[in-house]
Amino acid sequence: MVRLQKFLADAGVASRRAAEQFISEGRVAVEGKVVTEPGTKVDPAATQVTVDGRPVRPKRKLYIALNKPRDFLTTRNDDLGRRTVFDLLPLDWINLFPVGRLDRDSEGLIFLTNDGDFSLKLTHPRYGMTKTYWAFVVGRVEQSDADRLTKGISDGAETLKAEAARVVSCNNSHSVVELELAQGKNREVRRMFEVLGHEVEQLKRVQIGPIKLGELPVGKWRTLTDPEIRSLLRGAK
């Protein structure tokens, strides 16, 4: 027996958080009766579960690594008709959802899955999963500037902080800085450099936990191996 929200996440209906919202909204029925308590237990092999009247069946779990190009959204649909990462995947993988976010102007490594537990452990701040980025910045950034980011800087009411930061290269016109983050706040890297007085021209995520982007071509995907999945879950504190 498993909790209803876990069953829905495992079936690829939504992330666990979204599944809890579905339940509280009265959209989920168990054996024909609407259930509004997320903690309800079900037997994945025998219990009949529906969402909005449609039967939910467990699905094979998929774990995909994608090298997201710039100008693609990490969402399933866009009302403005802009391109999304799902345009790069097989049509029958519509049940997947992005693990975390990577904004439209950013590129690099992102995972997609239909496993809600996997997504939660890689995105919730309490698990401390680190992500590594290369920021291509206008102007000269010294290591002393990068060190400020590891100590934490204020942006309005928020404190933004990198776990590690090093200057890869720099000259008077441009710099490349590698940052390791664990917080996952909105536009965090760009905001950090704005505080320092620099514009980020290009932002590329090159690593999530122990998994590196490597030689995966832009716009292409691959499945994560079982050892890679285990290493990611071990890395969730």
Residues with catalytic function:
103
Contact 58, 44 (CB under 8 A): yes
Three-state DSSP class for residue 31: coil
List alpha helices for 102-152, DSSP H.
116-123, 143-151
| Coil vs helix vs strand at 186 | coil
Q: Do the Cβ atoms of 116 and 10 come closer than 8 Å?
A: yes
CA–CA separation, 229 and 211 (whole Å): 9
CA dihedral 224, 10, 233, 127 (to 10 degrees): 130
